[in-house]
């Protein structure tokens, strides 16, 4: 904890001695046990909030209580939440522009200048993954659209459909056929569209209802759907950007191509395939 | 009533053992795989606790995307950085995992 | 229609404005444009805060508490999220706005490299404004889960800013800072879970009404304290701060030391004295005081041994943070202020100390940045004869040092004077010794630098080659540091400005 | 009622296992796994206390956990990114203490 974490797999540099490990284990064990006992003993009075949510649900414009809380009652939290995602996206952004000018001088890859998605010409395509994706990606995109739409009434919503779209993007990138470059202006716009839509709606409704982030009741449903669509786009773009800047950090200028087929990484449903 | 407690009991034991194994295994790749399966078990736990929204989010983000990010970084950490000689560059992760 | 135009719309504007600035600076191309947007937004933010303070000070006392709350989304406290402002948070917001303006102007020149290939400002400005969103959001929020989200924003933005210049030392320091930050936030989130289970509400005001000293509340308070002590870097948990603040770019380490570390102290004060006051035991308060005293001694000793100027200033932050934690024991024995929340002589003394330390520390880090820029290094041993080349920066360093030590004309002196008064009034004379010895040790490590920089003793001059500045320093950067140092002197003379600021807005 | 008891024990157990793993494990990826396990533990406590309400579970807690999951992946992604950049910067691993 107090030393810099080391990066080699089997590097036992600053391994804690056995005694300190046991002491740590005992200390953490007693603390957790006492916390568990405390939690079991005190019977918690049920909070007033769920009843309040049920009451106000009719005016919130959506039927699904979780979406109502996320995008209407506590919408300020979700606004800051997308801000957190934007922080990490910006922190990892320039790395991809460093990579892109490496790829651009690679023979065969057309320079991925300003375009978000560009086809990789002489990519080593993974045939099996390619065949599966021909079926899987359209289904995921339709599923994400459905998830977004039913978010108002059934479990679903912006975060889930954004994650699904990002999963589809990860699979497409793994198949090697397409290559994403996230320094293009379209990518930055997509990453910030969620925040922009949220801010515009939040300030736009203020003159009519007198309070920021308070939607007029009859317009609440459509406004929430508008915010959810924009949020889904920006969440999907940012999550894909996170994967892209981590996965393409290996500078491809190594002369020999990497292992014959790219290791099929975790598709978003089943655990990662075999080695 | 006792049957649902049995299911929850198995789920909880499964989750706790997966967590311990995930942190105790020798190889990093196995730890990441165990973590992804832990994420899926927790998604089932959310369904048992009556939170389907969270189950979808946990499966998609907690297990899927976090697993993808971890594997991408693990693959990068296991390949030597390109600045030293080129021939080690293609020593991709697969070789050095099997032999400890 | 008219209700949207009354004054308390300023509260959400304090968060919305930096957020729009962050979005704009992400999308806009060109370093110059981003810088001019940022300076304009910093000016607007200062104007908003001044308007807010004037509304609070004249309308403050007569208003009931309702008007200082702004319930976002119009749903009211338990269901929705409220933004509240009282004297202490108003002062912190004013400090944030002032520092942001000066540091934005400084960063405009610090990061301006027209020819460089990797444009750092594309990353710096959005992260800078998202950090300001987190800080303003935290000082305004009165919802414990919302505070968790703002803590997370501040943590991640600060880590991304520390890792900005990409050197190996900066990246390792940023990684350790991130791990510590995540651990602190998780402890805080666990405490939020415990509090919600027992009291059923997330709002601070309702919590302070409902809280009673049960085991669960004490456990939640203990978790909040460990989580926030990790983020405030009090002595046993301070290991990440010197490297993180030492290896960050100058304006970043300035705002980290002056503001970010104080946000978690502000939360600690808010929970211990206001929200969970019934659950705060006397031993806990004294414990925090003892940890503070230990921080003063440990930080000062390490500052004396530091070889690099930025590392020394970072260790002096660890030391000065110890002073802040003297608030807890000093509040202890004056029974009447115990339940008055965040008011009383001890709180106004500490508030004054926060302002004095913030300006002095920011000025010192900017001077260290200037020296680093002109000489390419900041090893203390090779700084001798510096005064010939950078007289203004050294003069600024001297004034800031005077405020840290607590010499008469500076704001530092007034804050220490107030602290001493409170310590003597409450009859805890041992804190007097701690305060005075802390000032003495601060004097030792500040004068050590000044001695080397001004007195170019002869035998050292022959042995080592004369230090030549490698590139010229834009005038504005030295002036920014000088302005901050002058602020401590101005505040030194006009003590009433801060003191009545802390007490306004509180309905007695 | 006993269902929540199980999950409360599991949540604090996960928090403890994660904390132990974070302190003991030297490698950065194990530390990140430990932090993720701790956050799963905290979320489990939140969801377990949500379902004690008879009938419909408490949506406010579910919204909080959803926000927490997204914050967790943001933190993890930044930590992995920093680890990756340190690795690509080269071998000079300085063993500095605090």
pLDDT value at position C472?
A: 78
Across residues A150-172, what is the average pLDDT? 91
A134 touches chain D (CB under 8 A): no
> What's the pLDDT band for C4 if we cut at 50, 70, 90?
low
pLDDT of C267 higher than 50: yes
Query: What b/e string do you get for C349-387 counting C-beta neighbours within 10 Å, with b at 16 or more?
Result: bbbbbbbbbbbbbbbbbbbbbbbbbbbeebebeebbbbb
A5 or A95, which is more confident: A5
Q: Is C178 within 8 Å of D79 when comparing Cβ atoms?
A: yes
Instruction: Tell me how many residue pairs between chain B and chain D have CB atoms under 8 A apart.
Output: 128
Q: Choose the mutation target among D34, D42, D70, D87 for the interface with B, i.e. most B CBs under 10 Å.
A: D87
CB-nearest to A53 from D59, D84, D94 is D59
Q: Is C20 within 8 Å of A199 when comparing Cβ atoms?
A: yes
Most confident listed range (A41-45, A127-131, B94-98, C74-78): A127-131
- Least confident range of A34-38, A110-114, B72-76: A110-114
Among candidate residues C105, C147, C129, the one with its CA nearest the CA of residue C484: C105
pLDDT of A199 higher than 90: yes
pLDDT value at position A1?
A: 54
Q: In this predicted model, what pLDDT tens digit does every residue of C483-505 receive, in sequence order?
A: 999 988 888 887 777 777 776 64
Q: Choose the mutation target among D6, D11, D25, D39 for the interface with B, i.e. most B CBs under 10 Å.
A: D6
Which residues in chain C have their CB less than 8 angstroms from residue D90's CB?
Answer: 168
Which residues in chain D have their CB less than 8 angstroms from residue B65's CB?
Answer: 73
Across residues C51-78, what is the average pLDDT? 69
- Cα torsion C317, C343, C413, C477: sign: positive
Across residues B53-75, what is the average pLDDT? 93
> What's the pLDDT band for A113 if we cut at 50, 70, 90?
low
Q: d(Cα A154, Cα C35) in Å, to the nearest integer?
A: 45
Subunits in contact with chain A (3 or more CB pairs closer than 8 Å): B, C, D
pLDDT of C338 higher than 70: no
pLDDT of C268 higher than 80: yes
Q: Is D85 within 8 Å of A14 when comparing Cβ atoms?
A: no
Q: d(Cα C163, Cα C247) in Å, to the nearest integer?
A: 9
Across residues B58-85, what is the average pLDDT? 83
pLDDT of A273 higher than 50: no
Q: Which residues pair with C69 in a beta bridge?
A: C84
Q: Is D37 within 8 Å of B4 when comparing Cβ atoms?
A: no
Distances (CA, A) of C389 to C384, C447, C460, C466, C482: 11, 19, 18, 11, 16
Most confident listed range (B74-88, C96-110, C231-245): C96-110
CB-nearest to C172 from D39, D67, D86 is D86
Which residues in chain D have their CB less than 8 angstroms from residue B46's CB?
Answer: 47
Predicted TM-score (pTM) of this structure: 0.90
Q: In this predicted model, what pLDDT tens digit does every residue of C16-37 receive, in sequence order?
A: 999 999 999 998 888 888 899 9
- Least confident range of A149-163, A193-207, A252-266: A252-266
> What's the pLDDT band for A269 if we cut at 50, 70, 90?
very low
pLDDT value at position C214?
A: 87
Helix (H, G, I), strand (E, B) or coil at D88: helix
CB-nearest to A35 from C137, C163, C219 is C219
pLDDT of C42 higher than 80: yes
Which residues in chain A have their CB less than 8 angstroms from residue C12's CB?
Answer: 212-213
Among candidate residues A10, A146, B51, C366, the one with its CA nearest the CA of residue D7: B51
Across residues C107-112, what is the average pLDDT? 86
B22 or C337, which is more confident: B22
pLDDT of A268 higher than 50: no
Distances (CA, A) of A125 to A131, A141, A176, C123: 10, 22, 5, 34
Q: d(Cα C145, Cα C150) in Å, to the nearest integer?
A: 9
**Beta pairing class for C69-72 and C81-84:** antiparallel
CB-nearest to A239 from B65, B67, B92 is B65
pLDDT value at position C115?
A: 67
Subunits in contact with chain D (3 or more CB pairs closer than 8 Å): A, B, C
Taking CA–CA distances from C80, the nearest residue in chain D reads D60
pLDDT value at position C475?
A: 84
Across residues A222-250, what is the average pLDDT? 89
Q: d(Cα C304, Cα C397) in Å, to the nearest integer?
A: 16
Q: Name the percent of chain A in helix, strand, coil, to the closest 5.
A: 65, 5, 35
pLDDT value at position C380?
A: 82
- Least confident range of A42-51, C36-45, C324-333: A42-51
pLDDT value at position A20?
A: 87
Helix (H, G, I), strand (E, B) or coil at C328: helix
Across residues C460-484, what is the average pLDDT? 75
> What's the pLDDT band for A139 if we cut at 50, 70, 90?
very high
Across residues A198-217, what is the average pLDDT? 87
Helix (H, G, I), strand (E, B) or coil at C70: strand
> What's the pLDDT band for A265 if we cut at 50, 70, 90?
very low
pLDDT value at position B93?
A: 35
CB-nearest to A65 from D31, D59, D84 is D59
Distances (CA, A) of C294 to A138, B22, C227, C431, C451: 62, 39, 19, 12, 27
> What's the pLDDT band for C341 if we cut at 50, 70, 90?
low
Q: Is A84 within 8 Å of D80 when comparing Cβ atoms?
A: no
- Least confident range of C274-283, C357-366, C401-410: C274-283
Query: Would you say C473 and C390 are in contact if contact means Cβ atoms under 8 Å apart?
Result: yes
The radius of gyration of chain B from alpha carbons, rounded to an integer in Å, stands at 18
Across all residues in chain C, what is the average pLDDT? 85
pLDDT of C409 higher than 90: no
How far separated are the first and last CA of chain B, in Å rounded? 47
Among candidate residues A190, A223, A231, the one with its CA nearest the CA of residue A204: A223
Chains C and A make contact, 3+ CB pairs within 8 Å:
yes
pLDDT of A11 higher than 80: no
Q: Choose the mutation target among D4, D58, D71, D80 for the interface with A, i.e. most A CBs under 10 Å.
A: D58
pLDDT value at position C55?
A: 81
Find the length of chain C: 508
Domain at D3-97: CATH code: 1.10.287.3510
Question: Which residues, other chains included, contact C498 with Cβ-Cβ below 8 Å and sequence gap of 6+?
Answer: C91, C348, C351, C352, C355, C491
Q: In this predicted model, what pLDDT tens digit does every residue of D40-93 receive, in sequence order?
A: 999 999 998 887 556 678 889 999 999 999 999 999 999 999 999 898 887 544
Query: What b/e string do you get for D2-36 counting C-beta neighbours within 10 Å, with b at 16 or more?
Result: ebbebbbbbbbbbbbbbbbbbbbbbbbbbbbbbbb
Taking CA–CA distances from C241, the nearest residue in chain D reads D98
D96 touches chain A (CB under 8 A): yes
Subunits in contact with chain B (3 or more CB pairs closer than 8 Å): A, D
> What's the pLDDT band for C339 if we cut at 50, 70, 90?
low
Helix (H, G, I), strand (E, B) or coil at C203: strand
Q: What is the domain partition of chain D in residue ranges? A: 3-97
The radius of gyration of chain A from alpha carbons, rounded to an integer in Å, stands at 24
Angle (CA) C89 C94 C99, round 5°: 125
Which residues in chain D have their CB less than 8 angstroms from residue A249's CB?
Answer: 84-85, 88
The radius of gyration of chain C from alpha carbons, rounded to an integer in Å, stands at 22
Q: Is C4 within 8 Å of A211 when comparing Cβ atoms?
A: yes
C214 or B13, which is more confident: B13
Q: Is A83 within 8 Å of C20 when comparing Cβ atoms?
A: no
B88 or A7, which is more confident: A7
Helix C345-375 and helix C309-324, axial crossing angle in degrees, nearest 10: 180
Question: Considering chain A, what percentage of its residues have pLDDT values greater than 90?
Answer: 37
pLDDT value at position A201?
A: 92
Across residues C81-104, what is the average pLDDT? 90
Which residues in chain A have their CB less than 8 angstroms from residue C172's CB?
Answer: 4
pLDDT value at position A256?
A: 34
Question: Considering chain C, what percentage of its residues have pLDDT values greater than 90?
Answer: 41
A12 touches chain D (CB under 8 A): yes
Q: In this predicted model, what pLDDT tens digit does every residue of A208-220 receive, in sequence order?
A: 888 888 888 888 8
Please report the residues numbered 48 through 67 in chain D whose beta carbons come closer than 8 angstroms to any beta carbon of chain B: 48, 50-51, 57, 62, 65-66
- Least confident range of C92-106, C193-207, C447-461: C447-461
Which residues in chain D have their CB less than 8 angstroms from residue C202's CB?
Answer: 60
Angle (CA) A56 A58 A59, round 5°: 70
pLDDT value at position A236?
A: 95
C331 or A260, which is more confident: C331
Across all residues in chain B, what is the average pLDDT? 81
């Amino acid at each position: 904890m107090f030393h810099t974490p080391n990066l080699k797999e089997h590097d036992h540099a600053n391994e804690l001695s056995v005694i300190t490990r046991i002491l740590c284990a005992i200390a953490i064990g007693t603390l957790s046990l006492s916390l568990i006992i405390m939690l079991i003993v005190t019977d918690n009075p049920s909070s007033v909030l769920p009843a309040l949510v049920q009451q106000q649900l009719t005016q919130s414009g959506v039927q699904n209580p979780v979406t109502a809380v996320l995008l209407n009652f506590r919408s300020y939290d979700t606004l800051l939440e997308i801000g957190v995602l934007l922080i990490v996206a910006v922190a990892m952004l320039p790395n991809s522009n460093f990579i892109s000018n490496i790829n651009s001088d690679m023979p065969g890859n057309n320079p991925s200048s300003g375009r978000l998605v560009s086809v990789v010409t002489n990519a080593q395509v993974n045939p099996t993954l390619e065949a599966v994706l021909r079926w899987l990606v359209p289904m995921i995109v339709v599923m994400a659209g459905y998830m977004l739409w039913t978010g108002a009434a059934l479990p679903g919503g912006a975060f889930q459909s954004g994650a699904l779209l990002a999963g589809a993007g990860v699979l497409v990138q793994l198949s090697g056929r397409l290559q994403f470059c996230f320094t293009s202006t379209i990518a930055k716009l997509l990453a910030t569209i969620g925040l922009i839509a949220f801010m515009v709606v939040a300030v736009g409704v203020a003159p009519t209802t007198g309070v920021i982030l308070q939607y007029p009741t009859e317009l609440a449903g459509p406004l929430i759907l508008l915010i959810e669509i924009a949020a889904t786009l920006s969440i999907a773009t940012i999550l894909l950007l996170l994967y892209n800047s981590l996965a393409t950090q290996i500078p491809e200028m190594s002369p020999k191509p990497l292992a014959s087929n790219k290791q099929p990484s975790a598709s978003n449903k089943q655990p990662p395939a075999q080695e | 009533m006792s049957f649902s407690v049995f299911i929850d009991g198995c789920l909880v034991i499964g989750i706790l053992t997966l967590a311990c194994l995930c942190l105790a295994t020798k190889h990093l790749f196995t730890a990441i795989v165990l973590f992804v399966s832990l994420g899926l078990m927790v998604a089932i736990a959310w369904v048992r606790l009556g939170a389907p929204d969270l189950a979808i989010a946990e499966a998609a983000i907690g297990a899927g995307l976090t697993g993808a990010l971890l594997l991408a970084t693990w693959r990068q950490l296991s390949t030597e950085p390109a600045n030293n000689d080129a021939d080690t560059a293609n020593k991709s992760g697969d070789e050095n995992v099997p032999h400890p | 229609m008219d209700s949207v135009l009354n004054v308390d719309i300023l509260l959400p504007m304090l968060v919305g404005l930096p957020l729009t600035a962050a979005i704009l600076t992400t999308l806009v191309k060109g370093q110059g444009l981003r810088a001019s947007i940022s300076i304009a937004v910093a000016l607007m933010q200062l104007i908003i805060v001044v308007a807010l303070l004037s509304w609070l000070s004249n309308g403050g006392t007569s208003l009931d508490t309702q008007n200082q709350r702004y319930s976002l989304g119009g749903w009211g406290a338990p269901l929705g999220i409220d933004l509240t402002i009282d004297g202490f948070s108003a002062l912190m917001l004013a400090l944030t706005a002032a520092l942001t303006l000066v540091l934005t102007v400084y960063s405009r020149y610090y990061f301006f490299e027209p020819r460089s290939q990797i444009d750092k400002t594309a990353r710096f400005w959005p992260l800078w404004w998202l950090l300001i969103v987190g800080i303003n959001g935290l000082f305004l929020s009165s919802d414990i889960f919302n505070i968790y989200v703002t803590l997370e924003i501040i943590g991640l933005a600060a880590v991304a800013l520390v890792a900005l210049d990409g050197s190996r030392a900066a990246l390792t320091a940023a990684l350790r800072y991130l791990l510590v930050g995540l651990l602190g936030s998780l402890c805080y989130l666990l405490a939020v879970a415990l509090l919600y289970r027992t009291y059923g509400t997330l709002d601070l005001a309702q919590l302070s009404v409902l809280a009673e000293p049960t085991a669960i509340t004490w456990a939640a308070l203990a978790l909040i304290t460990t989580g926030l002590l990790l983020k405030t870097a009090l002595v046993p948990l301070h290991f990440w701060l010197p490297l993180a603040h030492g290896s960050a770019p100058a304006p970043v380490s300035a705002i980290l030391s002056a503001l970010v570390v104080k946000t978690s102290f502000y939360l600690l004060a808010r929970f211990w004295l206001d929200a969970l006051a019934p659950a705060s035991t006397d031993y806990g308060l004294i414990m925090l005081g003892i940890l503070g005293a230990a921080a003063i001694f440990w930080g000062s000793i390490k500052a004396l041994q530091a070889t690099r100027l930025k590392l020394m200033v970072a260790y002096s932050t660890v030391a000065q943070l110890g002073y802040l934690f003297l608030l807890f024991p000093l509040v202890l024995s004056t029974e009447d202020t115990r339940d008055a929340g965040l008011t009383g002589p001890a709180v106004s003394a500490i508030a004054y100390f926060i302002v004095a330390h913030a300006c002095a520390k920011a000025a010192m880090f900017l001077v260290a940045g200037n020296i680093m820029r002109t000489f390419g290094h900041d090893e203390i041993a090779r700084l001798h004869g510096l005064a010939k080349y950078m007289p203004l920066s050294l003069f600024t360093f001297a004034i800031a040092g005077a405020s840290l030590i607590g010499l008469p004309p500076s704001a530092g002196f007034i804050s220490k004077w107030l602290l001493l008064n409170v310590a003597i009034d409450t009859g805890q004379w041992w804190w007097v010794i701690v305060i005075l010895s802390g000032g003495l040790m601060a004097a030792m490590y500040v004068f050590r630098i000044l001695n080397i920089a001004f007195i170019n003793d002869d035998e050292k001059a022959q042995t080592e080659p004369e230090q030549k500045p490698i590139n010229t320093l834009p005038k504005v950067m030295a002036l920014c540091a000088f302005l901050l140092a002058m602020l401590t002197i101005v505040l030194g003379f006009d003590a009433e400005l801060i003191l009545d600021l802390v007490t306004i807005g509180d309905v007695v | 009622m006993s269902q929540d008891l199980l999950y409360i024990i599991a949540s604090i157990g996960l928090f403890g296992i994660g904390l132990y793993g974070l302190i003991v494990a030297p490698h950065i990826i194990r530390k990140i796994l430990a932090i993720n396990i701790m956050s799963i533990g905290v979320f489990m406590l939140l969801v377990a206390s949500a379902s004690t309400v008879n009938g419909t579970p408490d949506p406010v807690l579910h919204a909080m956990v959803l926000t927490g999951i997204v914050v967790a992946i943001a933190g993890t992604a930044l930590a992995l990114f920093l680890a990756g950049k340190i690795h690509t910067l080269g071998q000079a691993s300085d063993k500095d203490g605090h």
